[in-house]
Amino acid sequence: MTSAPHATALLEEWLGLAAVVPGDRLFRTRRLAGPARLDLRVGLRETDGAPCLVVSPGAAGAGISSFETGGLRLSRVADPGGVLLVLSLEEPARRELFAAVCSDCLRAVMRGEDEADDDLLGVFAARLSAWRAFLRDQIGALSRSEMIGIIGELLLFGQLTDIGADALATWRAPDDGLHDFEMAGDSIEVKTSLGGARQFHVSTLDQLDDAGLTSLHVAHVRLIESPDGETLADIADRIETQLDSERARGAFRNALLRRGLAPGTDDDAGPRVRLAGTDFYAVRDGFPRLRRGEVALGIAEATYELEVRALAEFQADGTAVLSRFGGGQ
């Protein structure tokens, strides 16, 4: 098994290429030791010396979209040997970030090769797409409240996995879904509270609108802080180890990245928590909420807080709610 080069090693590779005499090609490149089944090279663009990661995709690369975000650009470049996919650094100040992204994408490909995945280009493209989403939405480190929200989603993810449901296929939050989990018209919106909080936040007029859905439930995940509890990174690692294939684990890592959790996040970052319980509420007629079609004309958007004690009559059986998402237990 060949390990993927660390970001520091990639920075050294680019420095080494800078000492090579320029040629008549668009890029100075050096093939990496791995993967064996996908031509991946570190490179420098001759015109300006920008560091690059260069892929020879063959015909399969036609479906991969170009983009530019966060100081990185993925472009399709004609070359005498065929079309190349080139990931390039366009903002020199982000050189270390670029090296980290490249190293992480290479690691994903190497994992895929170790597991005999027959679509390494697809593995590379999926990981890069997750980084694209992360960099597009990134405005800094996750806040404490954001971490708590993701913890709640992952704990519900784990509950779905425990009953044999395909939680990964139903988790919509990483792709900016209106509701956190959805399958065939059944949706769950996760609201997470820490400690004695008895309210939860509703962020849009559409979030508790069940129009067009077979069912909509709120899952209120109640957490308590505990020195022997788990952090966000702990929970993510635990769930990853429970998935039964490298393809599923890779898809989960990509979903986490799209959701805002970067690889290498400090294991001790954020609160240490234990699950106190999960309560489910059916969103139906009479449920206290604001909906777009019911507010006064001119109100474009609204956020508000809901009192949990006002939801007692809407409480639902958690087992029945989760069973809507499949599973055989």
Residues, the chain, total? Answer: 329
Of 55-69, 139-153, 274-288, 308-322, the one with minimum mean pLDDT is: 55-69
Q: Is the dihedral of CA 134, 139, 143, 146 positive or negative?
A: negative
Between 4 and 162, residue with greater pLDDT: 162
Q: What is the pLDDT of residues 61-101, one digit of tens each?
A: 778 989 999 999 999 998 887 889 999 999 999 999 999 99
The mean predicted confidence, pLDDT, of the chain is 93
| pLDDT recorded at residue 126 | 96
For residue 90, what are its two tokens? Answer: 């366009």
In this prediction, residues 207-230 reach a mean pLDDT of 97
Give the per-residue pLDDT at 265: 72
Kindly indicate the confidence band of residue 118, based on its pLDDT and cuts at 50, 70 and 90: confident
pLDDT at 2: 60
Calpha distance 273→226 (Å, rounded): 5
Q: Distance between CA 206 and CA 118 in Å, rounded?
A: 41
pTM for the whole thing? Answer: 0.91
Please say if the pLDDT value at position 328 is more than 70: no
Tell me the C-alpha distance between 220 and 202, whole Å: 12
| pLDDT digit string, tens, across residues 245-266 | 999 999 999 999 999 999 877 7
Q: What mean pLDDT do residues 215-219 have?
A: 98
Contact 222, 156 (CB under 8 A): no
Distance CA 79, CA 43 (A): 14
- Region 144-152: what's the mean pLDDT? 95
Q: Comparing 34-38, 139-143, 156-160, which segment has the lowest mean pLDDT?
A: 139-143
Across 258-279, average pLDDT: 88
